Chains A and B, each alone.
Chain A
Amino acid sequence: MESKFSIELSGNIAKLTLVGRLDATNAAVFQEELKKISGQQVTKVVFFAKDLEYIASAGLRVMIFAKQKLCQDAQVYLVGAQEAVLNVVKMSGLDTFMAIQDTFQE
């Protein structure tokens, strides 16, 4: 599956769809994409990860970056993540700051 990342701002909700792999080779692309929401009034950041097959620390770093630098006050959601991805998120302790959901519920 080809890796791609897209972002959509609807109201105060930033919806990010992650497909394929999020690793050291493409994390910078994702980070650039995220800058689109910089300076916006975002209250919720939602990572839709149903089709994300793999995440490495470079990808996790971008998620941390999103929370720390772009939207400190926003609630972060991780929606539909596959087990492999969820395990890495949990191992890193990032599940403590994200609401983990099967389908997005505000």
Chain B
Amino acid sequence: MEKISFPAKLENLEAMIDFIIAFAQNKKFPDDKLNQIRLACEEVLVNVINYAYPGSPGEVEIVCSEAGGKGVIIEVMDSGIPFNPLEKEPPDISQPIERRKIGGLGIFLAKKVMDELSYERKENKNSLRLVKYA
């Protein structure tokens, strides 16, 4: 298991993702799946950076661990306002482009590319758990 924490700021996004990708690379994920992990993690982390701490600074914690030798579990935690992004209404992707809403697409994509994505409120923290199998 490896963990790290960063101030929840956009300028740290790349370092957060690099940390996760380095962990996944050691588990021998093919490039296309690494790209999917990158996408899902970016979307989840950007959500925390943008919405978890309105008007005040805060931290995002990332914990990477093995999923029974067959994949990775990535946990993203914040101590911000309680919020389950998975409950948000998914975007209607059948709408014509003129009427497409801009929000909600990120979490929708994260759900699509990961094998599991779940939310838990624990110890006063929001915890999103992403699982991808190699």
Question: Which A residues contact B (CB, under 8 angstroms)?
Answer: 23-25, 54, 56-58, 60-61, 64-65, 67-68, 72, 83-84, 88, 91-94, 96-97
Contacts and interface: CB of A to CB of B under 8 A. Distances in A.
A25 B13 contact: yes
A90 to B, nearest CB: 10
Contact of A25 (B10, B32, B43): B10
Interface of A is mostly: helix
A57 B113 CA distance: 13
| Interface class of chain B by DSSP | helix
Among B10, B14, B46, B97, find the residue whose CB has the most chain A CB atoms closer than 10 A: B97
B14 A25 contact: yes
A64 B39 contact: no
Given A68-B100, A92-B93, A92-B109, 16 more contacts: A54-B39, A56-B46, A56-B106, A56-B109, A57-B106, A58-B106, A61-B102, A64-B97, A64-B100, A64-B102, A67-B97, A83-B32, A84-B35, A88-B39, A94-B97, A96-B96
B98 interface: yes
Nearest to B43: A57
Determine which residue in B35, B38, B49, B94 has the highest number of CB atoms from chain A within 10 A of its CB, and name it.
Answer: B35
